[in-house]
Structure 1
Amino acid sequence: MALDEEEIDQSPMLRVRQPKTTVKLIPIIRDEDTKKLLDSCKGRDFVQIRDEAIIRILANTGARLSEVANLQLADVDLSLDTVHYHGKGAKDRRVRLGPKTARSVSRYLRARSSHRAVSLPDLWLAVRGAQPLAANGIKLMLKRRGQRAGVKGVHAHRWRHTYAHEWKLAGGDTGDLMLLLGWTSDDMPRHYGASAAAERAQHVQARMGIGERV
């Protein structure tokens, strides 16, 4: 107010140091840990086939837990190997599946055809009862799989982090990444790309031998 009334010529807040914001690197999940989780799903039982398909979709597409959990049968098009995600703010997008993921989903659909809840429109079905598998059910499943496989901190969002990390590490376009992951602000890819930048810096350091000259 004093500044507005021209009693002083600069704001006293200019000398106040702004608090530093801690930049935390996004935790990712390594390929070997994903493989351990997939190995825990080997078998012909419905639950093993279903869980493998869910894990592969999470790892392959980097989608949000809610997006994967809310998939409907009509959202899967195996003629094109794609899934149709209904993102936040009614922002839909279609994402292509890799060959292994598409085969896993196809295998699940065959197993699903014999389930007592086959008439439900939901893609993922619970093992017991004629009901869909909700997001919380997927969350609990991932926790159980992690415990069995000896992998700590397993949750769906780690694959989303990993997808963005690997995309940025490979030098992928930020705009394309935003479309694939359903982001509208470039703040998110910058945030997710921090771990990739740190890893690139470590590779450069190793090639240059910095810190090992003595």
Structure 2
Amino acid sequence: MKQEIENAVIDYLHYIRIERGLSENTILSYRQDLMQFAHFISQKNLNLSDVDHIVVLSWLQKLRQADKSNNSIIRMVTSLRKFFGYLSQEKHIGHNPMLDIKPPKKATHLPAVLSVQEIDQLLAIPIPNKPLGMRNRALLEVMYATGLRVSELINLKMSDLHIELGLIQTVGKGDKERIIPIGEVATDWLTRYFSTGREQLIKGKESPYVFVNDRGKQLSRQGVWKIIKKLVVEAGITKDVSPHTLRHSFATHILENGADLRIVQELLGHADISTTQIYTHISKKRLSEVYDQYHPRA
């Protein structure tokens, strides 16, 4: 029984990797959710054909009792919906149990955003007279200047840079390519990093990647996360900051300075403008904070 469901999960993951071309991070997320569900139904001695909406609801209830967040449960419902949709399409099951399941409503969550002052504090921390300090300063400047996702940042290649034009070329979600302006300040730090820091890090070897670690290898997602967490602590910033926070801050600050929402959508590489619209809520929240702080009768 357990082998049947696990084999079905493996087949589905192969399908979304080869046929759908989904990213490894997305596939890993699906695998985690579906293997948890596979373990649950194998404990109940059920086959795939035995799974109905009652079984799915009992699994979701178990997640709630384990204090899983609403967003985690929504993600699980999405994973199961796609999985059973695939099984139904391939005629592996007679009835899709997810047709009778409504996903919980997603709570509105405004991501953390750094103020311009906090950005300045953070950017001032790396010591540029050392190779890693120079790399970290250039890395932060590029993230804030372009709003790149961390996956786009670590995969950025030297051939993707068009510094003389002030542009960066990147491939985002769904293999969607976009061109992003980079700005003079970030360009200046990149140029300085190339002439000193990067050369010392790669130690005469060749690497196609813009940002490398202390061994001259491609920087990892975890590596970027650790760098930013360390610098945030040193900057005395108490907000919960991740690499994505710089992307949020980039989008919020250019909107606050009058950028059109469609332009921000293009810069961020969002397929749907509704994803970009969360930043209008952040800007309104910021507007209220400024009003409360400065209006004499607020």
* 1:35 counterpart = 2:120: yes
* 1:146 counterpart = 2:246: no
Residue 160 (structure 2) aligned to one of 63, 72, 75? 75
SS of alignment partner, residue 37 of structure 1: helix
* 1:118 CA drift (Å): 4.0
SS of alignment partner, residue 180 of structure 2: strand
**2:112–2:241 CA contact under 8 A, matched in 1:** no
Kindly provide the amino acid, as one letter, of the partner of residue 144 in structure 1.
K
SS of alignment partner, residue 152 of structure 2: helix
Change over 3 Å in CA distance of 1:133–1:44 after alignment to 2: same
TM normalised by structure 1 equals: 0.80
Deviations 1:179-203 (A, max 9, x none): 1110011111111221102223455
Change over 3 Å in CA distance of 1:130–1:190 after alignment to 2: closer
Q: Distance in 1 between matches of 2:168 and 2:176?
A: 14
CA-atom RMSD, angstroms?
A: 2.2
Q: Distance in 2 between matches of 1:199 and 1:38?
A: 22
User: What is the match of residue 14 of structure 1?
Assistant: none
SS of alignment partner, residue 165 of structure 2: coil
Residue 160 (structure 1) aligned to one of 237, 247, 272? 247
Can you give the 5+ residue segments of structure 1 that lack an aligned partner in the other structure?
1-18
Among all aligned residue pairs of Structure 1 and Structure 2, give the percentage whose two residues are the same amino acid: 22
Deviations 1:157-190 (A, max 9, x none): 1121112222332342121111111001111111
Change over 3 Å in CA distance of 1:49–1:191 after alignment to 2: same
Change over 3 Å in CA distance of 1:207–1:93 after alignment to 2: same
* 1:194 counterpart = 2:281: yes
In the TM superposition, 1:116-131 aligns within 5 A as 116=203, 118-127=205-214, 129-131=215-217
User: What is the match of residue 261 of structure 2?
Assistant: 174
User: What is the match of residue 4 of structure 2?
Assistant: none
In the TM superposition, 1:89-108 aligns within 5 A as 89-108=174-193
Change over 3 Å in CA distance of 1:185–1:147 after alignment to 2: same
In the TM superposition, 1:52-71 aligns within 5 A as 52-71=137-156
SS of alignment partner, residue 106 of structure 1: helix
Q: Distance in 2 between matches of 1:124 and 1:151?
A: 24
Q: Distance in 1 between matches of 2:294 and 2:225?
A: 40
Q: Distance in 2 between matches of 1:52 and 1:208?
A: 37
Change over 3 Å in CA distance of 1:36–1:181 after alignment to 2: same
* 1:154 CA drift (Å): 2.7
* 1:106 CA drift (Å): 0.4
Point out 4+ residue stretches in structure 1 off by more than 3 angstroms.
Answer: 19-22, 201-211
Q: Distance in 2 between matches of 1:96 and 1:31?
A: 19
User: What is the match of residue 222 of structure 2?
Assistant: 136
SS of alignment partner, residue 89 of structure 1: helix
User: What is the match of residue 12 of structure 1?
Assistant: none
* 1:126 CA drift (Å): 0.8
**1:71–1:85 CA contact under 8 A, matched in 2:** yes
Change over 3 Å in CA distance of 1:117–1:123 after alignment to 2: farther
> Alignment length, in residue pairs?
192
Kindly provide the amino acid, as one letter, of the partner of residue 93 in structure 1.
R
Q: Distance in 2 between matches of 1:150 and 1:201?
A: 25
**1:117–1:125 CA contact under 8 A, matched in 2:** no
Q: Which has the higher contact order (CA 8 A, sep 6+)?
A: 1
Change over 3 Å in CA distance of 1:137–1:205 after alignment to 2: closer
Kindly provide the amino acid, as one letter, of the partner of residue 142 in structure 2.
I
